[in-house]
Structure 1
Amino acid sequence: MSTGAASGVLSYLLQDQADALRARISAIFRRAGSPQEEATALQVLDEQATALARHKITQRTVIDTWTELLSAFLDTHPSARSDIEELKTTAPTKTVNIGSQHNHGSGAFIGNDHYGDININTRDDR
């Protein structure tokens, strides 16, 4: 179960939802654990979110670290089982909005429809 929950942690991080994950981790550790355990888990989360974003650690490292951390927490606090299990079953899914853009005329089109010409004024001293 801890490995599944650790995969959920990774899923949050890969989808740039570290703030939502931070709130969930905080609630889990606050309900069943001590303030020190909560602080440690949040510190690990913050460090790994930063390192993962900078490609300083692998996805496997994140899963291994959280598997170990959550397993140890469950050993000490078995009452947290349902919260940790929920972490693995409610990992977010990334949504993609598909739209269309229709452009007429010449020039750059960024994000909206444009009809006609675009005039770009530049400085002569470049």
Structure 2
Amino acid sequence: SSAKLNLNNIYRLESVNNADAALKLLNVIWDDLLAGLPFTEHTLTLLGTHCKDEILARLTDKESKPGTNLKFISQLITNCDLPLTQILNHGKTTSDTEELQSLSAYGKSLLNQRMTFFKGVRDEGSVLSTLP
């Protein structure tokens, strides 16, 4: 597959301990990470070392599909076997890491926004109640 070819090129052409290579790798396998596909420990370590901030930014981007998917965010927080969760937990001995706390806070904020919206839709005095 083209993803495998891209991965091989990234590994062969660049040092795998390089932050640039890690970001290129993240870009190539992002959709597979979102799908929960398994990766080698080496890949998870490389991404966990260099890409946590980028991953959190992508997961909490309200313009992105995962950034608006409350169920997906909840699964990441509760299922430590998912590759993205393993990356965010990299280097930590507890599953309640700063990264997952940040993701959890984002998820709660998203939930509160939705609850406020739907409460406003039901409230006849609200501007939101005029929405079709």
Choose between structure 1 and 2 for higher RCO, CA contacts under 8 A separated by at least 6 residues.
1
Larger Rg: 1
> Going by fraction, where is helix more abundant, 1 or 2?
2
TM-score, length of structure 1 as denominator length: 0.31
TM-score, length of structure 2 as denominator length: 0.30
